[in-house]
A and B are shown apart, each in its own frame.
Chain A
Amino acid sequence: MITAVFLGFIFAAFTPVLRKLGQSVFPWVYSLLPLGLFVYFLGWLPGLSNGPQVVGYPWIPSYGINLDFRIDGLSLLFALLITGIGSLVFFYSTYYLKGHPALDRFYGFLSMFMASMLGLVLSDNLMAMFIFWELTSISSFFLIGFNHEEKSSRKSALTALGITGFGGLVLLAGVVLIGTVGGSFSFSALVPLSETIQNSPSYVWIVGLFMIGAFTKSAQFPFHFWLPGAMKAPTPVSTYLHSATMVKAGIYLLARMTPVLGANPIWNDTLLWVGGITMFYAAAHSLFRVDLKSILAYSTISALGILVFLLGVGTEKALLGAGLFILAHALYKAALFLVTGIIDHQTGTRNVPGLKGLGKVMPMVAFGGVVAALSSAGFPLFLGFLSKEVMYEGVLALGNLTIVAVAILVLTKIFLLVAGFWAGIKPFVGHLPTELASVKGPPPTLWIPPVLLGICTIITGVYPALIDSSFVQPLFHAISGSNEIYTLKLWHGFNLVLLLSLITLGAGVALYFFWKPSDTKFAKTFRFESTSPESLFESGGNLFLRFSRFWTDFFQNGYLRNYFITILAFLILVTGYRLLGGVDIHIDWEQISSVSFYEVILTAMMAVSIGIAVLTHSRTMAILALGIVGFVNCLFFLFFSAPDLAMTQFSIDTLTVVLFMLVLFRLPKNKKLSSNPIRIRDGIISLVFGAFIAILTLEVFESPSQTDVSTFHAENAYLLAKGRNVVNVILVDFRASDTIVETVVLVIAAIGVYTLMKLDLNPQKNP
Chain B
Amino acid sequence: MKSLIFRTASDYLLPLLLLFSIFLLLRGHYEPGGGFVGGLVASMAFLIHSFAYGLTQTRKIIRVNPGYLMPVGLLLALVAGIAPWFVGLPFLTGLWFSEPLRFIGAVSSVLVFDIGVYLVVIGTTLTIFFSISESV
A interface vs B, CB < 8 Å?
643-644, 647-648, 651-652, 654-655, 658-659, 662-663, 665-666, 721-725, 727-729, 731-733, 736-737, 739-740, 743-744, 746-747, 749-751, 753-754, 757-758
Contact = CB atoms under 8 A, between A and B. Distances in A.
Contacts of B74: 740, 743-744, 747
Nearest to B134: A757
Given A725-B29, A725-B30, A731-B34, A736 B81 contact: yes
B13 interface: no
Given A644-B37, A737-B91, A750-B123, A732 B131 contact: no
Nearest to A758: B131
Given A654-B44, A655-B43, A740 B78 contact: yes
Contact of A747 (B30, B31, B91, B123): B123
A659 B124 contact: no
A764 B81 CA distance: 47
B58 interface: no
Contacts of A644: 32-34, 37
Interface string B21-47: 000100011111111110011011001
B52 interface: no
B135 A747 contact: no
A724 B44 contact: no
Interface in B103-136: 106, 108, 110, 113-114, 116-117, 120-121, 123-125, 127-129, 131-136
Contacts of B117: 731-732, 739, 743
Contacts of B40: 648, 651-652, 655
Contacts of B67: 750, 754
B124 A747 contact: yes
Nearest to B128: A753
Contacts of A663: 132, 136
Nearest to B40: A651
B19 interface: no
B94 A721 contact: yes
Contacts of B96: 722
A593 to B, nearest CB: 23
Contacts of B120: 743, 746-747
A743 B34 contact: no
B132 A750 contact: no
A739 B36 CA distance: 10
A733 B70 CA distance: 20
Main secondary structure of the interface of A (DSSP, over half): helix
B92 interface: yes
Main secondary structure of the interface of B (DSSP, over half): helix
Contacts of A722: 29, 94, 96, 106, 108
A714 B18 CA distance: 31
A662 B114 CA distance: 29
Nearest to A735: B92
Contact of B31 (A662, A724, A736, A757): A724
Nearest to B96: A722
A725 B113 CA distance: 16
Contacts of B128: 659, 749-750, 753-754
A736 B135 contact: no
A727 to B, nearest CB: 8
A372 B43 CA distance: 70
A729 B71 CA distance: 23
B129 A732 contact: no
13 contacts: A648-B36, A662-B136, A729-B29, A732-B110, A737-B92, A746-B120, A746-B121, A746-B124, A747-B74, A749-B128, A750-B128, A754-B67, A757-B135
Contacts of A744: 74
Given A648-B37, A662-B133, A663-B132, A740 B31 contact: no
Contacts of A729: 29
Contact of A721 (B32, B73, B110): B110
Nearest to A651: B40
Contacts of B133: 662
B49 to A, nearest CB: 13
Nearest to A737: B92
Given A648-B37, A722-B106, A746-B124, A728 B44 contact: no
A732 B81 contact: no
Contacts of A757: 131-132, 134-135
Contact of B110 (A648, A733, A754, A758): A733
- The 8 closest A-B CB pairs, nearest first, are A651-B40, A723-B29, A750-B124, A643-B32, A757-B131, A757-B135, A750-B127, A728-B34
B36 to A, nearest CB: 6
Given A655-B40, A743-B117, A725 B31 contact: yes
Contacts of B92: 733, 736-737, 740
A746 B77 CA distance: 14
Contacts of B78: 740
Nearest to A739: B117
Nearest to A646: B32
A421 to B, nearest CB: 57
A754 B131 contact: yes
A743 B136 contact: no
Contacts of B94: 721-722, 733
Contacts of B77: 739-740, 743
Contacts of B24: 647
Given A732-B113, A747-B124, 16 more contacts: A647-B32, A648-B37, A663-B132, A666-B136, A721-B110, A723-B30, A725-B33, A725-B34, A727-B32, A728-B33, A731-B34, A737-B81, A740-B92, A749-B128, A754-B131, A758-B135
Contacts of B41: 651
A322 to B, nearest CB: 43
Given A647-B37, A757-B131, A724 B81 contact: no
Contacts of B127: 750-751, 753-754
A710 B111 CA distance: 23
Contacts of B91: 737
A766 B63 CA distance: 29
Nearest to B34: A728
Nearest to B28: A728
Nearest to A648: B37
Contacts of A652: 40
Which of B29, B30, B71, B74 gathers most chain A CB within 10 Å? B29
Contacts of A736: 81, 92, 110, 113
A736 B135 CA distance: 35
B80 to A, nearest CB: 8
A740 B81 contact: yes
A743 B74 CA distance: 7
A754 B66 CA distance: 12
B58 to A, nearest CB: 14
A644 B136 CA distance: 33
Interface in B82-110: 91-92, 94, 96, 106, 108, 110
Contacts of B43: 655
Contact of A651 (B44, B81, B108, B134): B44
Contacts of B135: 757-758
A724 to B, nearest CB: 4
A724 B136 contact: no
Which of A666, A747, A750, A753 gathers most chain B CB within 10 Å? A750
A635 B57 CA distance: 35
A731 B110 CA distance: 10
A724 B124 CA distance: 28
Contacts of A758: 131, 135
A723 B113 CA distance: 14
Contacts of A666: 136
Which of A658, A662, A732 gathers most chain B CB within 10 Å? A732
Nearest to A658: B47
A460 to B, nearest CB: 45
A564 B33 CA distance: 33
B32 A732 contact: no
Contacts of A654: 44
A374 B91 CA distance: 56
